[in-house]
């Protein structure tokens, strides 16, 4: 299998990648891959299935809501599908979800290259299916807990073996035209698996392998798969068995020679490549459909990053110590109006997170998707305690960041300096990791307010010292956010101005944070405005002495001076913060700023065209790239993969790393990879913080090519330390998980401090405090992790292992997402028992029919989670059984014109079944598919009805 190529998409033109392709040919491949030609890869298979199922779900939702649905044009694209789903604001998140799923899919080939079960090699059908079904349970549990990013990871991991099955087994050769549905359930037979002693192949006839599977195997529909081995030992392949094939597979040289894989067109069974790839797409669609049924439509789409609103999490981190008592009401009203202003708009967040911090307490984290619940949570806050001046603001921020999904908007409200400054590096690491934007709203810096200590003494409120504000400013700069110092009566105004920027289509044009070194500092910034742009805004904090704006025509104005309205259409100012809306003029703009105090500048505009990127590492031994969960290595070469979103015609022409302080630029070499992906190689990754800037061209609807420029709002850092850890296991509550990790250095080495942190203070994590890391020697350590017994299945533990070289002030980290899973014993779906059916046959003079059902999950089951209507336009009423919380009672009534009904029944671990009934069926037993129906005796029925009537449950 060739992961790099899969990640990078088709690579027809790039010479480097052709070379890579040749190398891969020489080393062989263990799964679907990409070659010059039209072979289908894991990337394409996965994306095609996701787009297909997303369209089905959105169509279903539109129909159920009585909306029109317009199919996107074929072939489906992310942009087209997002538009059809009326989720234009979601394009970037949709792309991000698909990219994450694909990266995890592809990574299986790096971490599990020689583990046959992950590829269905070596007839490892039982263990292969076990990987899929356990992973599927984990995905469903993650979704139940709204841990959608963990669900993406776990989904990617199981799609790999699922797709490989069609390339590596003889399912296709046996003449099957549909996917093997038994691969995604654990209570059935996978098929007639060949005995270990059963011969399955003969040697190929020279290069001709079209008839190497034995006829009796095909006739008897016996399931086999190719053996694969890179070690030339005969015993790796039992006698008479098929091989995988390809140059790397040494078993294919042992009798019977040749292979049966369909990974590519020129594989031994390459003539069946397209059939296998199409079946892999169908199988991927099928497992996605199963997850959709278990999860529900809206959460399923959320897992894929699709939502009507911004799809972001809106997070508030609020200081609730005593000194905030006169601010807290202002914070409550500001946050509440802010939420109201977004509900129902394209900016509506998909989830809300609240963390309060005090001293010595902070948290807990409260998460909801209901804005009303969230507002109530905020209203419940009150100010007290806190002891001394300093408060645990960074602890609160860390708790939010370690739980927030990618690209969240975080607002922190405080009037105090941070007591927990030692967390600064961890917070910055988490900001980098999640690319979240953090706004600090600091009240009470402008006057000499009095501040009440918790012991009741009045105390003179001290202005937060410049160095304390600088700490917040450093973090805001890393996070592409702002530090806004404002009086509490202006909080509402400040948050509503920021609110205009939390729109998901706002992109960053330029961003800088400057601390003047001389008495007066004079800096010039430039940014490009393109034809696709509207709402260009400048955001400036720090009240610089003078701001001069120059438009592309060379007209210069001083902000606040005469004629400024020639370039500025509106401006707002609150506290130390001002925003200017510019009159859009295409070309290069200049901003000159004269200041004596630190200030920040950010230019944004509103446009769906944006980019995603990941640092990737080239792995020479495998000739492939893997996405980094760490900082890249400083002062050496490195690569990133840039993906454009929001346009199907845009291309990248230039990618630059811009050092945040000096504005020094490092330009990369861009290699297009197809599918909107671009590999960018840099000779040197800067050793100081930098942002990523992308320039490119986009075709307008009139066919004109115009240029654009975008910049990451987050700033990034590289490190001379490298850190590695792999965690592929789930964590069971009450058990201890050991996570081995290793650290190397490109620097001078010495004692490196190690920290292990998680996203919940209740989790226990222990790490060695230091490791001796010498250049050229890999230092090894182990972090252990456990969670309380009552931690629900599907919870994600975000484990951050940080390594800090205190001498070099250099930090690297690795972030691992570990899912908690309780062992699942329930493998069967709930069943429907008919309590009563008033059908259309028995009641000639009625025009409607009625069905009373008891949906239960058996005594061993986990209980019924959900009953929903999948077919029929009657009315379904459901309620929990009064005597059994695991049982749901349902009534359905419909007109006799709508005689068919189908219900989806789901249990608490996501086993999915359907129950179907017909209004003209004279028996009272329903027709159930994919589950066994026990006919009810008349006595039981009467009894049940009697109980229900006496309890008056209806
Ligand atoms: C598309 O998805 C639907 C289920 O949502 C599935 O029935 C169909 O087979 C899929 N099509 C392909 C080509 O996979
Ligand atoms: C505006 O300022 C720039 C320098 O930033 C200068 O080159 C240009 O000539 C000025 N334009 C006018 C009309 O004065
Ligand atoms: C953009 O337009 C140019 C010329 O008009 C054309 O060559 C190019 O293929 C177009 N790009 C895309 C992605 O449609
Ligand atoms: C750490 O582990 C690696 C791989 O297992 C090994 O090569 C290396 O020598 C170990 N380092 C030390 C210092 O023991
Ligand atoms: Ca305190
Ligand atoms: Ca069950």
Q: Which of these three, 798, 820, 842, is where a domain ends? A: 820
84-93, 266-275, 462-471: which range is least confident on average? 462-471
CATH number of 912's domain: 2.60.40
Mean pLDDT of 356-379: 94
- Ligand 3 binding residues, C-beta < 6 A: 649, 699, 703, 705
Choice between 618 and 548, residue whose per-residue pLDDT is larger: 548
Q: Which domain holds residue 901?
A: 831-950
- Does residue 629 share a domain with residue 571? no
- Cα–Cα dist 749/745, whole Å: 6
Query: For residue 748, is it within any domain?
Result: yes
**Residue 913 Cα to ligand 6 middle (Å):** 9
- Does residue 730 share a domain with residue 688? no
- Cα–Cα dist 78/76, whole Å: 7
Cα four-point dihedral sign 384, 388, 393, 396: negative
Q: Does the pLDDT at position 8 exceed 50?
A: no
Query: For residue 425, is it within any domain?
Result: yes
Q: Which of 224, 241, 228, 116 is nearest to 171 (CA)?
A: 224
Contact 202, 216 (CB under 8 A): no
- Ligand having the closest approach to the CA of 358: 5
Percentage, residues of the chain above pLDDT 70:
88
**Quick one: pLDDT at residue 923?**
55
> Phi and psi for 693 in degrees, rounded to 5?
-115, 135
- Cα–Cα dist 357/412, whole Å: 10
- In a mutational test of the pocket of ligand 3, which residue from 648, 649, 651, 708 has the highest number of ligand atoms less than 8 Å from its CB? 649
Contact 117, 127 (CB under 8 A): yes
Which ligand 2 atom is at minimum distance from the Cα of 524?
5
pLDDT tens for 773-786 read 999 999 999 999 99
Q: Is 56 in the pocket of ligand 1 (CB under 6 A)?
A: yes
- Ligand having the closest approach to the CA of 652: 3
- Does residue 439 share a domain with residue 349? yes
> Phi and psi for 280 in degrees, rounded to 5?
-65, -35
- Does residue 271 share a domain with residue 196? yes
Q: Does the pLDDT at position 233 exceed 60?
A: no
Output the six-digit token pair for 591.
């901003």
Q: Does the pLDDT at position 461 exceed 70?
A: no
**Quick one: pLDDT at residue 514?**
85
**Quick one: pLDDT at residue 749?**
87
- Does residue 388 share a domain with residue 318? yes
Output the six-digit token pair for 882.
């009064």
Query: For residue 347, is it within any domain?
Result: yes
CATH number of 319's domain: 3.40.50.410
**Quick one: pLDDT at residue 338?**
87
Which of the four pLDDT bands, split at 50, 70 and 90, describes residue 490? confident
**Quick one: pLDDT at residue 645?**
92
Task: Give every CB contact of residue 517 below 8 A, 6+ residues apart in sequence.
Answer: none
Strand residue runs (E) in 533-609: 534-541, 546-550, 556-558, 568-574, 577-582, 587-595, 599-606
Residue with CA at minimum distance from ligand 3 atom 13: 649
Number of domains composing the chain = 6
Beta strand 568-574 with 556-558: parallel, antiparallel or unpaired? unpaired
**Residue 554 Cα to ligand 2 middle (Å):** 6
Which ligand 4 atom is at minimum distance from the Cα of 780?
1
Query: For residue 115, is it within any domain?
Result: yes
Does pTM top 0.85 for this prediction? yes
Residue with CA at minimum distance from ligand 2 atom 7: 554
Mean pLDDT of 627-654: 93
**Residue 368 Cα to ligand 6 middle (Å):** 27
- Cα–Cα dist 931/827, whole Å: 11
Output the six-digit token pair for 410.
């975080």
Q: Which of these three, 763, 787, 820, is where a domain ends? A: 820
- Does residue 228 share a domain with residue 279? yes
- Cα–Cα dist 565/648, whole Å: 36
Query: For residue 513, is it within any domain?
Result: yes
Q: Is 777 in the pocket of ligand 4 (CB under 6 A)?
A: yes
pLDDT tens for 204-216 read 998 899 999 999 9
**Residue 180 Cα to ligand 1 middle (Å):** 14
CATH number of 522's domain: 2.60.120
Mean pLDDT of 517-538: 82
Contact 61, 308 (CB under 8 A): no
Mean pLDDT of 658-662: 86
**Quick one: pLDDT at residue 457?**
43
**Quick one: pLDDT at residue 506?**
82
Q: Is 484 in the pocket of ligand 1 (CB under 6 A)?
A: no
- Does residue 700 share a domain with residue 574? no
Choice between 758 and 919, residue whose per-residue pLDDT is larger: 758
**Residue 849 Cα to ligand 5 middle (Å):** 67
Specify burial of residue 300 (Cβ count, 10 A radius: 0-12, 13-18, 19+): buried
Q: Does the pLDDT at position 467 exceed 70?
A: yes
- Does residue 395 share a domain with residue 427? yes
**Residue 556 Cα to ligand 2 middle (Å):** 6
Residue with CA at minimum distance from ligand 4 atom 3: 778
pLDDT tens for 870-901 read 999 899 999 999 999 999 999 999 998 888 99
- Ligand having the closest approach to the CA of 648: 3
What does the DSSP 8-state code read for residue 630? B
Instruction: Give 636's Cβ-side CA count (13 Å radius).
Output: 12
Contact 603, 511 (CB under 8 A): yes
**Residue 778 Cα to ligand 4 middle (Å):** 5
pLDDT tens for 268-312 read 999 999 999 999 999 999 999 999 999 999 999 999 999 888 888
Residue with CA at minimum distance from ligand 2 atom 2: 556
- In a mutational test of the pocket of ligand 3, which residue from 651, 674, 699, 703 has the highest number of ligand atoms less than 8 Å from its CB? 699
DSSP secondary structure, 393-430, as one string: HHHHHHHHHHHSPTT-EEEEEESS-BS-GGGHHHHHHH
- Does residue 479 share a domain with residue 466? yes
Q: Which of 543, 549, 551 is nearest to 600 (CA)?
A: 543
- Does residue 363 share a domain with residue 245? no
Instruction: Give 85's Cβ-side CA count (13 Å radius).
Output: 31
DSSP secondary structure, 721-769, as one string: EEEEE---S-B-TT--EEEEEEEEESS--EEEEEEEE-S-TTSEEE--S
- Does residue 127 share a domain with residue 150? yes
**Quick one: pLDDT at residue 617?**
86
Query: For residue 114, is it within any domain?
Result: yes
Q: Does the pLDDT at position 450 exceed 90?
A: no
**Residue 116 Cα to ligand 1 middle (Å):** 28
- Does residue 509 share a domain with residue 498? no
Q: Which of these three, 247, 270, 303, is where a domain ends? A: 303
**Residue 654 Cα to ligand 2 middle (Å):** 28
Q: Interior CA angle at 210 toward 206 and 212, to 5°?
A: 75
* Mean pLDDT of the residues in the chain: 86
183-192, 449-458, 554-563, 574-583: which range is least confident on average? 449-458
Span between the terminal Cα atoms of the chain, in Å:
58
- Ligand having the closest approach to the CA of 387: 5
């Amino acid at each position: 299998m060739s992961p790099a190529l899969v990640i990078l998409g088709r690579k027809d033109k790039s010479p480097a990648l052709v070379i890579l392709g040749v190398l891969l040919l020489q080393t062989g491949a263990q799964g679907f891959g990409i070659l010059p030609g039209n072979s289908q890869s894991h990337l394409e298979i996965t994306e095609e299935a996701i787009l297909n199922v997303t369209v089905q779900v959105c169509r279903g939702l539109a129909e159920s809501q009585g909306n029109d649905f317009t199919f996107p044009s074929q072939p489906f694209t992310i942009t087209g599908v997002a538009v059809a789903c009326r989720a234009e604001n979601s394009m970037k998140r949709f792309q991000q979800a698909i990219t994450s799923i694909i990266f995890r899919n592809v990574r299986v080939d790096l971490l599990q290259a020689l583990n046959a079960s992950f590829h269905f090699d070596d007839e490892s059908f039982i263990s292969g299916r076990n990987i899929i079904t356990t992973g599927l349970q984990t995905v469903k549990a993650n979704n139940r807990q709204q841990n959608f990013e963990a669900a993406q990871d776990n989904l990617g991991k199981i799609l790999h073996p699922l797709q490989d099955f069609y390339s590596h087994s003889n399912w296709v050769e046996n003449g099957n035209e549909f996917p093997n549905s038994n691969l995604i359930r654990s209570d059935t037979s996978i098929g007639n698996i060949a005995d270990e002693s059963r011969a399955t192949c003969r040697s190929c006839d020279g290069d001709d392998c079209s008839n190497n599977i034995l006829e009796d195997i095909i006739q008897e529909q016996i399931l086999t798969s190719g053996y694969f081995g890179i070690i030339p030992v005969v015993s790796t392949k039992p006698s008479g068995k098929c091989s995988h094939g390809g140059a790397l597979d040494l078993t294919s040289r042992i009798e019977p020679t040749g292979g049966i894989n369909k990974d590519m067109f020129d594989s031994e069974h390459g003539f069946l490549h397209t059939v296998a790839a199409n079946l892999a797409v169908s199988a991927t669609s099928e497992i996605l459909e199963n997850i959709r049924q278990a999860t529900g439509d809206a959460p399923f789409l959320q897992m894929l990053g699709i939502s009507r609103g911004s799809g972001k999490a809106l997070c508030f981190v609020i200081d609730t110590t005593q000194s905030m008592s006169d601010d807290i009401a202002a914070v409550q009203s500001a946050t509440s109006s802010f939420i109201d202003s977004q509900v129902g708009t394209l900016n509506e967040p998909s989830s809300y997170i609240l963390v309060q911090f005090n001293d010595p307490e902070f948290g807990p984290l409260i998460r909801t998707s209901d804005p009303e619940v969230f507002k109530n949570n905020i209203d419940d806050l009150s100010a007290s305690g806190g002891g001394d001046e300093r408060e645990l603001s960074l602890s609160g921020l860390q708790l939010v960041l370690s739980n927030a999904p990618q690209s969240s908007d975080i607002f922190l409200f405080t009037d105090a300096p941070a007591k927990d400054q030692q967390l600064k590096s961890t917070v910055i690491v988490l900001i980098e990791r999640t690319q979240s934007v953090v706004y600090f709203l600091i009240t009470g810096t402008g006057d000499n307010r009095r501040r009440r200590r918790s012991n009741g003494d009045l105390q003179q409120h001290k202005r937060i010292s410049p160095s304390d504000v600088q700490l917040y400013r450093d973090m805001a700069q890393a996070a592409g956010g702002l530090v806004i110092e404002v009086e509490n009566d202006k909080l509402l105004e400040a948050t509503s101005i920021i609110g205009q920027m939390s729109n998901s289509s706002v992109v960053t044009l330029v961003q800088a944070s400057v601390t003047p070194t001389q008495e007066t500092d004079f800096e010039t910034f430039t940014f490009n405005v393109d034809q696709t742009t509207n709402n260009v805004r400048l955001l400036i904090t720090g009240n610089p002495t003078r701001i001069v704006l120059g438009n592309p025509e060379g007209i210069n104005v001083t902000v606040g001076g005469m004629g400024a309205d020639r370039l500025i259409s509106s401006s707002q100012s609150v506290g130390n913060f001002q925003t200017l809306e510019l009159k859009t003029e295409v070309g290069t703009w200049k901003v000159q700023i004269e200041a004596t105090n630190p200030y920040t500048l950010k230019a944004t505009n509103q446009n769906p065209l944006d980019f995603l990127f990941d640092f990737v590492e080239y792995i020479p031994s495998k000739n492939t790239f893997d996405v980094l969960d760490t900082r890249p290595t400083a002062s050496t070469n490195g690569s990133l993969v840039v993906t454009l979103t929001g346009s199907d015609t845009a291309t990248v022409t230039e990618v630059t790393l811009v050092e945040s302080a000096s504005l020094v630029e490092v330009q990369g070499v861009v290699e297009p990879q197809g599918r909107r992906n671009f590999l960018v190689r840099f000779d040197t990754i800067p050793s100081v913080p930098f942002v990523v800037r992308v320039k490119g061209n986009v075709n307008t609807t009139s066919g004109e090519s115009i240029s654009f420029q975008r910049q990451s709002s987050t700033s990034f850092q590289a490190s001379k330390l490298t850190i590695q850890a792999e965690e592929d296991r789930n964590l069971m509550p009450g058990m201890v998980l050991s996570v081995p990790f290793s650290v190397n250095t490109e620097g001078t080495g010495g004692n490196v401090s190690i920290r292990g942190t998680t996203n919940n203070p209740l989790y226990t994590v222990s790490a060695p405090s230091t490791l001796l890391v010498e250049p050229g020697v890999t230092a090894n350590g182990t972090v252990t992790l456990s969670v309380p017994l009552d931690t629900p299945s599907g919870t994600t533990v975000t484990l951050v292992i940080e390594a800090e070289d205190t001498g070099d002030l250099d930090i690297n980290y690795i972030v691992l997402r570990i899912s908690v899973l309780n062992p699942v014993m329930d493998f069967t779906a709930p069943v429907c028992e008919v309590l009563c059916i008033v059908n259309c046959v028995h009641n000639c003079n009625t025009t409607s029919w009625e069905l009373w059902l008891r949906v239960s999950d058996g005594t061993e089951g986990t209980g019924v989670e959900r009953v929903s209507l999948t077919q029929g336009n009657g009315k379904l009423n459901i309620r929990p059984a009064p005597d059994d919380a695991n049982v749901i009672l349902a009534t359905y009534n419909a007109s006799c014109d709508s005689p068919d009904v189908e219900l989806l029944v789901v249990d608490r671990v996501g086993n999915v079944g359907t129950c179907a009934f017909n209004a003209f069926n004279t028996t009272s037993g329903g027709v159930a598919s994919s589950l066994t129906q026990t006919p009810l005796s008349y006595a039981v029925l009467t009894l049940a009805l009697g109980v229900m009537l006496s309890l008056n449950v209806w």
